[in-house]
A and B are shown apart, each in its own frame.
Chain A
Amino acid sequence: MSKSAPAKTEAQTEIGLRPPGMTDRVMITGATSGIGLALANRLSPRARLLLTGRRSEDAVRSVLPEGVAYARADQTAPESAVAAIEAALARLGWDGLDLAVLNAGTGFVGDPADEPAARLRATLDANLVAAVLITRALYPRLAAARGRLVLVGSTARRGAPDIASYAASKAGLNGLARALAEEWRGRVEVRIVHPGPTATAMHAKAGHDPGRLGRLFAPPDTMAMLIERAAASDRPATTLSFARFAWRRAPKPR
């Protein structure tokens, strides 16, 4: 996949897979840990990056790849997250965006008959409402660059009793992507990727101990590699369940 394509429409279909050009403007949300950070590390040698997260820049600068821009955008407050992202894009002077990966997500494990309203709202806000509003806000820049929008869903989108509101939020993303992929066809490419269980801090944050099962989870680097491939493919939706990642590993960094 090493086509050198001068036309922009050609170039963007190769994003992430083409040789270093340092021309792509890429935004990744929730990029301070887990899959988002792994993806940022993969793309940083090849693209200009704007990363977002809910922690302050001082708290995360040391873990981020060198030379990337960072914006604090806490998605549990979707409207202010959008404002922070728009301000950061304006500061960078990016009038176009070649790739946006909306990866930020949160969730809590527990009996849904016992789920407090605040938790439910935080889950939907961070995972779904923020994604809808950020997608809306990014449209002019994505369209200007004929760029690509990648939503990170979850294999839980088909339903999961102990993470009901998380599953609901990810199903919402799937519905959003399915509609937009068709609606924006020819203007902005839309993809959704549904990762299976990945060995990130999310499980601990969600109050879930996978125990020995955790050893079967995908390493974040492997998942990031598979997401990058899925994002560059022609399939509008890709599910990266256990069968898809069990035998694959991202090559060790040289």
Chain B
Amino acid sequence: MKRALVTGATHGLGCAMAALLVERGYAVIAVDRVAGADRHGVSDLVCDLADRDAVDRMLPRLVGAGPFDLVVFNAGVSATGRFEDIPAEAYRRLLTVNAETPMVMAAALMMAGAVRGGLCFVSSLSHFTGYPGAAAYAASKDALAIYARSVRKPFARHGVSLTLACPGPLKTEHAARHAPDGADESMRLEPAMAARVILDAAINGRRLIVPGRRARLVALAGRLRPQAVTRWMRRLVFERLGRAVW
């Protein structure tokens, strides 16, 4: 039986990916801060991914549960608002969960030879656009995206493929919590749809996947006119943000 590991699998996109993987016959190890409701085919491993000691304690157990045919680093948190209004602890937490822990986990799994298929890092559409109002989040997602690009060749030497996923806004609790007032929810992609597209790409070893036609257009615009698109993001997000949320 094929084995998959998904982080941040209790809610949102990760939850949709875990469900889809079970449907496709994978045994899924789900790592998250809280366990999900009892799901057939999913074993929960509870770990606060912002806690270095907890991550270090979990890693040997994770290696023991491998080797994995697919690993999806999906867990992420955000912090939106004026950059200076968000507490330092929230930034520390965010950078650890979004950037440090997936890198540490990937390196540890590779070192132990616990991956035999594909790795997928879930970054963000903000990698192509800039994200005023969520500067530290943008920083963490850019860091993760470039880590993914950097390790592609070295990991390929171990027979492991690398997929970078950059989803735009999804219809998840996470997105609703951080969206500016009056944001149009119909612009967001269904998590199940994004999950399917991202998993197909990861299983096939595609390098980059931006799910959704609208998101791909935004990514293209961001590549062609980075400054104009970042300015547009300022009007769309930063200028409409209410209080800071982290």
Which residues of A are at the interface with B, using a C-beta cutoff of 8 A?
A: 78-79, 82, 111-117, 120-121, 124, 128-129, 132-133, 135-137, 139-140, 157-165, 167-176, 178-185, 236
Taking A164-B147, A175-B130 as contacts, is the C-beta distance between A82 and B88 under 8 angstroms? yes
* Interface SS of B by simple majority: helix
B111 is contacted by which of A113, A135, A178 (Cβ under 8 Å)?
A113
Q: Do A113 and B158 have beta carbons less than 8 Å apart?
A: yes
Q: Please list the 5 inter-chain residue pairs (A to B) with the smallest Cβ-Cβ separation, ordered nearest first.
A: A175-B142, A171-B146, A172-B143, A179-B135, A164-B150
* A133 nearest CB neighbor, chain B only: B88
**Contacting residues, chain B, for A170 (C-beta < 8 A):** 146
Chain B 120-159 near chain A by CB (<8 Å), digits 1 or 0: 0000001100111111101111111111011111110110
**Chain B minimum-CB-distance residue to A127:** B143
Task: Please indicate the chain A residues that have their CB under 8 angstroms from the CB of B52 in the complex.
Answer: 121
- Residues of A within 8 Å of B136, CB to CB, are 132, 176
Beta-carbon contact of A136 and B88 below 8 Å: yes
Residues in B lying within 8 Å of A, measured CB to CB = 52, 56, 82-84, 86, 88, 91-92, 95, 99-100, 103-104, 107-108, 110-111, 126-127, 130-136, 138-147, 149-155, 157-158, 226-227, 230-231, 233-234, 238
Chain B residues contacting A157 (CB-CB under 8 Å) are: 146
A137, B226: Cα distance in complex, Å: 28
Chain B positions within 8 Å of A171 at CB level: 142-143, 145-147
Name, among B82, B110, B142, B157, the residue most crowded by chain A CB atoms within 10 Å (CB to CB).
Answer: B142
A contact patch SS: helix
What CA separation (Å) do A116 and B59 show in the bound complex? 13
Residue from A79, A160, A179 in contact with B132 in the complex, judged by beta carbons closer than 8 Å? A179
* Residues of B contacting A159 in the complex (Cβ-Cβ under 8 angstroms): 146, 149-150
B155 touches A174 (CB 8 A): no
- Interface pair B91/A133, CB less than 8 Å apart: yes
Are B83 and A180 within 8 A (Cβ)? yes
Show 9 residue pairs from A and B whose CB-CB distance is below 8 angstroms, ordered by the A residue.
A79-B88, A113-B107, A117-B56, A117-B107, A158-B149, A165-B103, A169-B143, A178-B230, A182-B230
> Known: A121-B104, A168-B144, A171-B145. Is A128-B88 also a contact (CB below 8 A)?
no
With A175-B141, A236-B227 already in contact, the answer to whether A136 and B83 are too (CB < 8 A) is yes
Q: Contacts A117-B104, A124-B95, A168-B146 known; A175 to B84 CB distance under 8 Å?
A: no
Contact at A168–B226, with CB atoms within 8 Å? no
With both beta carbons as reference points, the residue of chain B lying nearest to A78 in the complex is identified as B92
Cα A157 to Cα B103 with chains together (Å)? 16
Hey, which chain A residues are within 8 Å of B141, CB to CB? 175
Residues of B within 8 A of A120 (CB): 100, 103-104, 107
A115 touches B107 (CB 8 A): yes
Say yes or no: A114 contacts B111, CB within 8 Å: yes
Contacts of B56 in A (CB 8 A): 117
Minimum CB–CB distance from A152 to chain B (whole Å) comes to 15
- Chain B residues whose C-beta falls within 8 Å of the C-beta of A139 in the assembled complex: 83-84
Residues of A within 8 A of B238 (CB): 182-183
Residues of A within 8 A of B234 (CB): 182-183, 185
Bound form: Cα–Cα A172–B143 in Å: 4
